[in-house]
Amino acid sequence: MICSNCQREIANYSNFCYFCGSRQQRAAGPGAPKRMHRSLVDSKVGGVCGGIAEYMDTDPTIVRLVWAIVTFFTGIVPGCIAYLAAWLIMPEGPMPMPVQPIAPPAPASNAPQA
């Protein structure tokens, strides 16, 4: 998949460009089912909140904040158990595609050609 903003190649399942951060439009249709998985790209502990954010097409920071607030107000233990259960149950997402560095253009020579 090619980023619509910076024109660099990114993984097909990406919601955001790795380089410029712009949101990517997904092709909706029967060939692209949406699956919840742990994020390998946007993970702080286990990738659970990053995976939920990718599934819901939202910012992972918002999901992490909501998870932390709910965990704090429910007595910490239930939220931690739910996170561990999600970590064990949710499959890992696909590995991101390796990025090829873009070579800078060759400098122009000012010497006259014979």
What does the pLDDT look like over 58-108, one tens digit per residue?
Answer: 999 999 999 999 999 999 999 999 999 999 999 998 777 666 667 666 676
Lowest mean pLDDT among 42-46, 55-59, 104-108: 104-108
Structural domain count of the chain: 2
Percentage of the chain beyond pLDDT 90 is: 38
Burial of 47 (C-beta count, 10 Å sphere; 0-12/13-18/19+): buried
Confidence bin at 16 (pLDDT 50/70/90): confident
Residues 89 and 42 in one domain: yes
φ, ψ for residue 23 (rounded to 5)? -70, 140
Average pLDDT over residues 13-37: 73
pLDDT at 30: 53
- Residue 58 forms part of a structural domain: yes
**In which residue are the tokens 């939920």 written?**
52
Residue 104 lies in a domain: no
The pLDDT score that the predictor gives to residue 62 is 95
Flag whether the pTM goes above 0.85: no
Q: What pLDDT sits at residue 113? A: 62
Q: Between 77-89 and 60-73, two packed helices, what is the crossing angle to 10 degrees?
A: 140
- Between 90 and 26, the higher pLDDT residue: 90
Q: Are residues 61 and 79 in the same domain?
A: yes
Residues 6 or more apart in contact with residue 101 via CB below 8 angstroms: none
pLDDT for the residue numbered 80:
93
In a domain? residue 90: yes
CA angle, 45 as apex, 40 and 47 as ends, to 5°?
35
* 71 neighbors 84 (Cβ within 8 angstroms): no
Has residue 16 been placed in a domain? yes
